[in-house]
Structure 1
Amino acid sequence: MNYFELAAHAASILTAIAYLVKDILWLRILTVFACIAGIIFNYTVPLTPLWVVIYWNILFLIINLVQIGLIIKERREVEFSEEEKELYETLFQNFAPFEFMKLLRVGKWLEAQKDQVLAIEQKQLDDVMLIYNGLVKVEAEGQAVAQLKDGSFIGEMSYITGGAATATVRALEPTRYLAWAKKDLKQLLNRNPSMRFAMQTVLSADLTKKLMQRPPLASRKR
């Protein structure tokens, strides 16, 4: 096996690795190297260069180089407000900055007044909410089961299962929160697999934290 034949294996291996990575920038970088390896192989190994294959690889190479430039430009232009920066650094670090900006664009900042109801048990809930600053009470079957504060999600279980709200949530004090319409959020995440995986990680961590903090069933029935 000579070096030119190794180029063919390198092209296939790099393509396979590209399909495994979640970051679209690295996917395109690996694809560029795969195209280069493919060009080398198809020019040197056959008795005559396979120009059709080479031309297509050159086209794919150019497309990916352009996309790499656009992605880098997009990532450099991301600027967060103080609130957004705090959320990113505390909860959403597994998102690329430009991905978190996309997430923010489909959400909206809202204020809940004291005693305002944000979710009603067994009723459909249109939004997934994230408390930025404030305090809410969670009630299930008429009993208070938890209090949620900064960094906690509301409606994440309804979002995951597609069902109704599992509890009633009421603000105990003025509460600022970020809300995403479930329909818009699902459309965004379905278009961006890396964001979908990152969001699943964030929601799973939130659910785990709530389960660990929730009192045992026997103590809630007293």
Structure 2
Amino acid sequence: MEDLILTDYLVFAAAGIFVLGYLIINQVVLRMMLLIGTALYIWYYAIVDSTPLWPAIWASVATGTANIVGLMGLFYRRSAWAIPKEFRDIYPLFNSLPPGDFRKLMRATSRVARPDGYKLTAAGTNVSTLYYILEGEAHIEKPNGSFSVPQNNFVGEVAYLTGNAASGTAILSRESSVLEWDVNVLKRHAARDPRFRLALYALISVDLAGKVSRSVSTGSLED
């Protein structure tokens, strides 16, 4: 067997890095490994023959560039720069979400002030808006009792998830600052964008978990 030369080592190294990259779940590390492998392949195509293999080089440059764009997108979604300025003050309430997922969720919402007595949901009617109380409180009336929903909670999330009518009437008990999502718009976003859907469901799951822990004393879940 002839002695291995530099080009052989380049091919083995590039192929090995690609294989290792495909075994890694972390998207950032995977893309970094593929980028290194692509660079090694470009080096190989440049020196394997007396004339560089330009078609292969340009093809590798194209795939490497696409990889870099995707990598920058991953870094952006995880950076504070992805958080919209108008929602940076409330991001700590949603910090279970990466900044990029938080940005997607906030792009579909309106941040508004609603007066005392404003009706959020009505028992027996379809829920057209999903609410999150930033500051304030809502009073819930159900056939089996009544209770209050403090700030930093969703209202209407059970009806949103199930598609059923609201099981109770929710009315703000004082002037409140709320986030509002149009349910139809939210569902369209969720259908088109799996990341958006997962981000929303993650938030609602945390909210429901807290409500379940309180349901022993209230006897039911809030709307």
Flag as ranges the 4+ runs of structure 1 deviating above 6 A.
47-51
Does structure 1 residue 5 correspond to structure 2 residue 12? yes
Q: Is the 8 A contact 2:140 2:149 kept in 1?
A: yes
Q: TM-score, normalised by structure 1?
A: 0.74
Does structure 1 residue 14 correspond to structure 2 residue 15? no
TM-superposed deviation, 1:167: 2.1
TM-superposed deviation, 1:9: 3.2
Alignment of structure 1 residues 182-197 onto 2, 5 Å:
182-197=183-198
Does structure 1 residue 139 correspond to structure 2 residue 144? no
Q: Is the 8 A contact 2:83 2:102 kept in 1?
A: no
TM-superposed deviation, 1:55: 3.3
Structure 1: unaligned runs, 5 residues or longer: none
Question: Partners of 2:23 and 2:187 in 1: how far apart?
Answer: 28
| RMSD, aligned α-carbons | 3.4
Q: Is the 8 A contact 2:112 2:180 kept in 1?
A: yes
Q: Please say which of residues 63-72 and 192-201 is displaced more in the overlay.
A: 63-72
TM-superposed deviation, 1:61: 1.1
Q: Which residue of 1 aligns with 2:130?
A: 128
Question: Partners of 2:213 and 2:70 in 1: how far apart?
Answer: 44
Question: Partners of 2:142 and 2:123 in 1: how far apart?
Answer: 7
**Deviations 1:54-92 (CA, angstroms, capped at 9, x unpaired):** 5333202112324555676785374524xx3332112x1
Question: Partners of 1:94 and 1:121 in 2: how far apart?
Answer: 31
Query: For residues 162 and 60 of structure 1, do their structure 2 counterparts lie closer, same or farther at Cα, with a shift above 3 Å needed?
Result: farther
Highest CA radius of gyration, 1 or 2?
Answer: 2
Q: Which residue of 2 aligns with 1:86?
A: 89
Q: Please say which of residues 34-43 and 167-176 is displaced more in the overlay.
A: 34-43
Q: Please say which of residues 124-133 and 5-14 is displaced more in the overlay.
A: 5-14
Structure 2: unaligned runs, 5 residues or longer: 1-7
Q: TM-score, normalised by structure 2?
A: 0.74
Q: Which residue of 2 aligns with 1:55?
A: 58
Q: Which residue of 2 aligns with 1:103?
A: 105
Does structure 1 residue 167 correspond to structure 2 residue 168? yes
Question: Partners of 2:33 and 2:40 in 1: how far apart?
Answer: 11
- The percentage of counterpart residues that share the same residue type is 21
Q: Is the 8 A contact 1:134 1:175 kept in 2?
A: yes
Question: Partners of 1:162 and 1:205 in 2: how far apart?
Answer: 19
Query: For residues 108 and 61 of structure 1, do their structure 2 counterparts lie closer, same or farther at Cα, with a shift above 3 Å needed?
Result: same
Question: Partners of 1:205 and 1:78 in 2: how far apart?
Answer: 21
TM-superposed deviation, 1:189: 4.0
TM-superposed deviation, 1:195: 3.8
Q: Which amino acid aligns with 1:134?
A: G
**Deviations 1:7-62 (CA, angstroms, capped at 9, x unpaired):** 21321332453xx44xxxx55x73353144145358649x8797655533320211
**Deviations 1:96-150 (CA, angstroms, capped at 9, x unpaired):** 3343233222211233322222101231111111001111111222621x31111
Question: Partners of 2:13 and 2:208 in 1: how far apart?
Answer: 48
TM-superposed deviation, 1:196: 3.1
Query: For residues 143 and 211 of structure 1, do their structure 2 counterparts lie closer, same or farther at Cα, with a shift above 3 Å needed?
Result: same
Question: Partners of 1:218 and 1:101 in 2: how far apart?
Answer: 35
Q: Is the 8 A contact 2:35 2:67 kept in 1?
A: no
Query: For residues 142 and 30 of structure 1, do their structure 2 counterparts lie closer, same or farther at Cα, with a shift above 3 Å needed?
Result: same
